Structure 1
Amino acid sequence: MNKTIIIPAIADDGSLYPVEKMAAHVQGVLHLAISVFVFDGDRLLIQKRAAVKYHCAGQWANTCCSHPHWNETLEDCASRRLQEELGFSVPLIRRQTVEYAASVGEGLSEHERVTLFCAQVAADSIEINPDPSEVEAVRWIAPSQLRYELGACPDAFTPWFRIYLNRFPELKF
């Protein structure tokens, strides 16, 4: 079932080169990624990663996140993964780019330059159909509840989501 996925890694000079996704995570190679945040007013749609995911299984994360395939645009990747993971499409707005590194367990690490995408929707205007191999559950959460849960049980959330919430308050979740 595991297929080889080639993603864009970032060389010291800023140029991109192809790397196998698992190799990037094993070696901690800096690579491109996307994160999507879909809001209904100030409530954020979050997902609980499926138990079969190779890292951070069963943890809550932002709406959707992934890696572009080699030669895929960031915009196309964000739209593709939102559809693949959650079964819906909405217009996405490209926001800022952030960089982080974090251990994600099982000897794997993320070292990502992440472009963030946001959308504003009415929750009742979209039909969410999660792929069970990707997503165990979804829910809308208000900022105050998210901050409370993050403080009470940080390990319930993926390392990158905790980093976004703690290090980049200007993202205005």
Structure 2
Amino acid sequence: MAAEFDQTTVKEEEYFDVLTKTGEKTGYSKPRGDVHRDGDYHRAVHVWIFAESTQELLLQRRADCKDSWAGQWDISSAGHISAGDSSLISAMRELQEELGVTLPKDAFELIFVFLQECTINDGKFINNEYNDVYLVTTIDPIPLEAFTLQSSSPLLRKSEPPVQESEVSAVKYLSLEEYRRVLAQEHPQYVPYDVNGEYGQLFTIIEKRIQVGPTKQIFSAPSLQNA
């Protein structure tokens, strides 16, 4: 397990399992660049951190160097599932690598699977991606400073510390309703998701959690920092 979270291990080229259009594994893998060039179906994870007491979601701002949706606000943590890896392990790894937070398996609740099919960058980036969407519910917001890694990127504001330079340039909290509003307005500073389509399940499910409580364990901020 430890090797799966070793940040010192550098992969020269990441490979993804190629899927059929209906999401089954084909039995072969391809490099990341080829997958997005050719429009192959593949799998990724989305991890949302939701603070119950403030009803806020944690968002990250994608680095300006990213080859998709550069500089835009996005999911708390997300990433592809590498060839041979499991969905849950990938979700745990992405959260640790991007935000420096290590959580136990039972913190992650798989709430739905979302198929994203889109083409950007003048047809150079084709994204046919099955996304396993996970929800992590905390009692209170994790302090933003807890996400700070060794990056030397400048702060956006005092409340938005920099994190891993290669993946994320900042983090912030946004209320559930405000995030729904900016997505509905197709705000240019936010990665687009159709709140009236499949991705609207995120808001429906969280609203149910608020009313009846989460089905997974919720964590206090100190517990997370010491995990």
Instruction: Tell me, yes or no, whether TM beats 0.5.
Output: yes
- The reply on whether 1:120 has 2:137 as its aligned counterpart is yes
Corresponding residue pairs, total: 170
CA–CA separation in structure 2 for the residues paired with 1:12 and 1:131: 33
Relative to total residues, which structure has the larger strand share, 1 or 2?
Answer: 1
> Normalising by the residue count of structure 2, what TM-score does the alignment of the two structures yield?
0.68
5+ residue gaps, structure 1: none
Q: Is the CA contact (8 Å cut-off) linking 1:56 and 1:105 kept in structure 2?
A: no
Matches within 5 A, 1:1-173: 3-11=12-20, 14-16=24-26, 17-41=28-52, 42-90=55-103, 91-105=107-121, 107-121=124-138, 122-124=140-142, 127-129=146-148, 130-152=163-185, 154-159=187-192, 162-163=193-194, 165-168=195-198, 169-172=200-203
Query: Contact 1:61–1:158 (CA<8 Å) still a contact in 2?
Result: yes
- Where 2:171 maps in the other structure, the secondary structure is strand
RMSD of aligned alpha carbons = 2.2
Shift of 1:61: 0.7
Write the distance in 2 (CA, Å) between the matches of 1:71 and 1:103: 26
Q: Select the structure with the greater relative contact order (CA < 8 A; seq sep ≥ 6).
A: 1
1:151 is displaced (CA, Å) by 4.2
- Which runs of no fewer than 5 residues in structure 2 stay unpaired? 1-9, 149-162, 207-227
Matches of 1:92 and 1:6, distance apart in 2:
24
Give the Å deviation of 1:2.
8.4
Q: How far apart are the structure 2 equivalents of 1:109 and 1:118?
A: 26
Q: Is the 8 A contact 2:21 2:41 kept in 1?
A: no
Q: Give the AA of the match of 2:171.
A: V
Structure 1 residue ranges (4+ consecutive) displaced by more than 4 angstroms after TM superposition: none
SS at match of 2:65: coil
8 Å CA contact retained: 1:65, 1:78 = yes
Task: Give the TM-score, by structure 1 length.
Answer: 0.87
- For 2:20 and 2:59, locate their aligned partners in 1 and report how far apart those are by CA, in whole Å: 32
